[in-house]
Amino acid sequence: MEKISVAVRFRPSTALDLPEDRKWRVEDNRISLHLLDGTPISGVSFAFDHVFDQSSTNATVYDLLIKSIIHAAVNGFNGTAFAYGQTSSGKTFTMNGSEDDPGIIPLAVKDIFHTAQMTTDREFLIRVSYMEIYNEEINDLLTLGNQKLPIHESLERGIFVAGLREEIVNSAEQVFELIKLGEANRHFGETNMNVRSSRSHTIFRMVIESSVKDPISSGDVSNADAIRVSVLNLVDLAGSERIAKTGAGGVRLKEGKHINKSLMILGNVINKLSENGKQRGHIPYRDSKLTRILQPSLGGNAKTSIICTVAPEEVHIEESRGTLQFASGAKRITNCAQVNEILTDAALLKRQKLEIEELRRKLQGSHSEVLEQMILKQRNDMHKSELDRERLAMELEEERKSREALEHCIKEQQKKIDNLTSLANSSSQTRSSAKQMADLRNTSDEVIMSQEDVFKTPNFKEKPNDFVVKRSNCSRDLESSPPPDNFANIADEDLWMRLNKGCTTDLDMLQMTPDMKCQSYLSSDISVGLALEEEISNKGRCHSLETECGFNKQLEASKEQCAALERECNLLRGENASLMHGLSMSKQDVELLTAEKEELLKELNIERQKMKDLKEEIHVFSLAFSQREGLLTSLYSKSKAMVENLKASQVPTPELYDC
C-alpha cells in the first residue's frame, strides 16, 4: 500500500505589475496565502510531497516526481501521471513541453526506451495509443474517423477502450511521430484566457510487454514463458474554467460544460477515496468516462502521481484554492500496486508443475513432518489427558474410601464415648448404692446393740427379732421358790444337753428343780445372748468392713478406670477433630480435583476439535490439489492442441525488436 504522490507547480506570472493585496508564498513543501504585509491568512495553508516554484523546469519535475513511476512501469507495474488545474495554468506545457524544455511525455518516452536497452536479460515489446475525451465521447487520435469508442471490462484485460488503435513502436522517434499525429487531430480552441486552449482530455497510453531472453542462463526457469505487461497512462486534462472569465459561447460553452462536469466527477471520486473505509460510500467511477478509464489508477493497481498547476495571479486565487484543495484530498488516497504478469499456456503449465512439485516436496518433506508432529503431539496430548483423567478417577475413589473409613472411625469413637459415659454413670450409681448399704448396716448394728432382752428357756435356736424384742417384757422379777443349797442332784444345762444327745441317767436321783426366781436363768441367758449377739455383731462388722473395703477398692478402681476413660475420650475427641479437619481438607481436594478434571476434559475436547479441523483441512487440501492437477492436465492438453493448430495454420507471429 502506498499513497498517491502529489506535487504543485506555479507557472510564471503574466501580470504586468498590477497591484495585489494577496499573494502565494512557497516555503519548502508548504504553500500559504499571505497579505502584502506578510500576515498569513488563516485556513489557507497546504503541504505536499513537492512544490515547484516559477523557476522550475520540466526536467526537474520529471526527475523528482515521474521518473520512479517510469522505471516501475518497465519492471511490470502500472503507472499514471496526470496534470490538473484551471485553464491556462500550464498543464499542457508540463505534459508536452517545448523544444527547449521537453515535457513529461517526451522525457518518459526516452527514458523507457533507454531503460529497455539497458536491461539486457529481457526483451521488450512496446505498443502506444492516443485518445481524447471530447464532450464525453472517446475519439482515437491516431485514426481519423475512429470516434465514439465504447469502454469495456474483462477479467483478462481489465478496463479498456474497444476499437482503439495500438501501434507497435521500436524507437522514441517513432513514438514522437505518433504523438505529433495525435496532436494534429486533437481539439483546441481559443478563449479569453488562452489562445490555444485544450478542449478535451487526452490520454497517451504505452503498453510495455517484456519476457526473459534466456531462462536457462538466467536460472529463472519458472518465468521462462511469463510475460510482464504494464500500462502507463500520461494524462493531460483540460482545465476548469469560468464562463465569466473565458467568455465562451456556443460550441466553446458546450465544451466547457462537459469539461467542468468531468472534472467535478473526478473531484467527487477523489473526495470519496480520501475518506475512511467505514465512512466511504459509493464511488461514482461510471459517472464520467474519464474516471472510468482512470479507475485502476485511483485507489487501484497502479503507481500514480498528480501534478497540480497553479496560476499565481491574485485574480485566480479562488481557482487556485480549489486546485490546492483537490490536491490535498488526492494526497490521502492509497493504491496497491503489484507486478502484472500474463502467462501463456505453456508458462502457466510449467509454473503450475513447479508449484505442484514444491507442494509435493512440502507434503513429503518438512510439511508432512510438521503435520505428523502435530498429529503425534495431538495424540500425546489426548493420551496424557486420558491418563490424567484416570489418575483423577483413582484419586477420587481413594478419597471416597478414605472418607468412608473416616466416617466409620468417627462412628466407632462415638460409640466408645457413649460407653464411657454409661460406665461413668454406673460407677456413680454404684458409689451411691454402697453408701446407702453402709448406712443400713450402721443402723442395724445400733438396733442389735440396744437389745437387752433374754430368752425364757435356754434355747440356742435363732429366734426372730420380733420375739427378741418382746422378750423385754419378761425382764422383771418372778416369784419363785428359793434356790437350793446343793446343786449336785439337780439337772443342769449340761445334763440336758447330754440327755438330748441320747444319754441315759437315773431319773429318780434327780431332784425336782427348786423354785427360784427367773433372775438366774435370765442372767445366764442374757450372758449367753450377749455373747452370741456380740459374736454376731463382730461377724457382721467384719463382714461389713470387708464389704466396705471391697467397695472402696472397687470404687478406687472405678475412679482410675473413669480417669483413664476420660483421657482416652479426650484423645479420641482430638483425633476426631483432626479427622474432621482432614475430611474437610479432603473435600476441598476433591472439589479442586473435580474442577481440574473438568478443565482437562474441556482441553481434551478442544484438542480433539483441532485435530478434526486439521484432518478436514488436509482433506480439503488434497481435494484441491487433485482438482488443480486435473485442471492443469486438461490445460496442458488444450494448449498442446492449440499449438498444433497454430503450427498447422502457420500464422506468422510478430517478432520482438531490440530497442
CA separation for the pair 98, 352 (Å, rounded): 50
Shared domain check, 384 and 333: no
Q: Is 85 annotated as a binding residue?
A: yes
Same domain, 330 and 402: no
How many distinct helices (H) and strands (E) make up the chain?
15, 19
The total number of structural domains that make up the chain: 2
Question: Do 323 and 389 fall within a single domain?
Answer: no
Expressed as residue numbers, the domain containing 158 is 2-343
CATH code for the domain of 132: 3.40.850.10
The pLDDT assigned to 108 comes to: 95
CA angle, corner 310, sides to 58 and 61, nearest 5?
20
Assess if residue 238 is contained within a domain.
yes
- The neighbour count for residue 327, using CB atoms within 10 Å, is 24
Please indicate, yes or no, if residue 363 is contained in any of the structural domains: no
Q: Does residue 420 belong to any structural domain of this protein?
A: yes
Confidence (pLDDT) at 23: 84
Question: Do residue 300 and residue 448 come from a single domain?
Answer: no
Question: Does 362 map to a domain?
Answer: no
Amino acid 479: pLDDT:
46
Report yes or no on 571 lying in a domain: yes
Single out the residue in 308, 343, 378 at which a domain terminates.
343
Residues 323 and 379 in one domain: no
305 and 160 both lie in a single domain? yes
**583 shares its domain with 464:** yes
Q: Do residues 522 and 572 both lie within one domain? A: yes
90 is in an annotated binding site: yes
Q: Is 323 annotated as a binding-site member?
A: no
Residues 162 and 146: their CA atoms lie apart, in Å, by 11
pLDDT at 480: 46
- Residue 471 has a pLDDT of 46
What is the phi-psi region of residue 85: left when phi exceeds 0, alpha when psi lies from -120 to 50, beta otherwise? left
- By DSSP bridging, strand 137-140 and strand 50-52 are unpaired
Does the annotation list 91 as a binding residue? yes
What's the rounded Cα separation, in Å, for the pair 246 and 192? 5
Q: In which residue are the cell numbers 518465468 written?
A: 223
Closest CA to 12 of 52, 66, 50: 52
**What φ, ψ does residue 51 adopt, rounded to 5°?**
-130, 120
Mean pLDDT by groups of 10 residues along the chain of 659 residues = 90 70 84 85 88 91 94 93 89 90 94 92 92 92 88 86 92 93 86 80 93 67 72 90 75 86 90 76 88 87 92 86 90 87 71 77 65 75 81 86 86 84 75 67 55 45 46 45 50 61 55 46 52 64 65 73 80 82 82 84 84 81 76 76 75 42
143 and 14 in a single domain? The answer is yes
Asked if 359 and 625 count as a contact pair (C-beta separation under 8 A), the reply is: yes
Distance between CA atoms of residues 454 and 530, nearest Å:
9
User: Same domain, yes or no, for 53 and 144?
Assistant: yes
- Cα torsion 105, 109, 115, 116 to 10°: value is 140
337 with 453, same domain: the answer is: no
Of the CA atoms within 13 Å of residue 229, those in its CB half-sphere come to 13
Q: Is 240 annotated as a binding residue?
A: no
* Per-residue confidence (pLDDT) for residue 147, from 0 to 100: 86
- Could you tell me the pTM of the whole model? 0.54
| Residue 364 belongs to a domain | no
Amino acid type, 101: D
d(CA 387, CA 524): 106
**Residue 354 falls inside a structural domain:** no
For the chain, state the CA radius of gyration: 67
Same domain, yes or no, for 444 and 549? yes
Per the annotation, does 322 bind a ligand?
Answer: no
Q: How many Å apart are CA 6 and CA 18, to the nearest integer?
A: 31
247 within domain boundaries: yes
Q: In this structure, what CATH number is given to the domain that contains residue 533?
A: 1.10.287
C-alpha neighbours within 13 Å on the C-beta side of residue 389:
14
Last residue of a domain, one of 324, 343, 362: 343
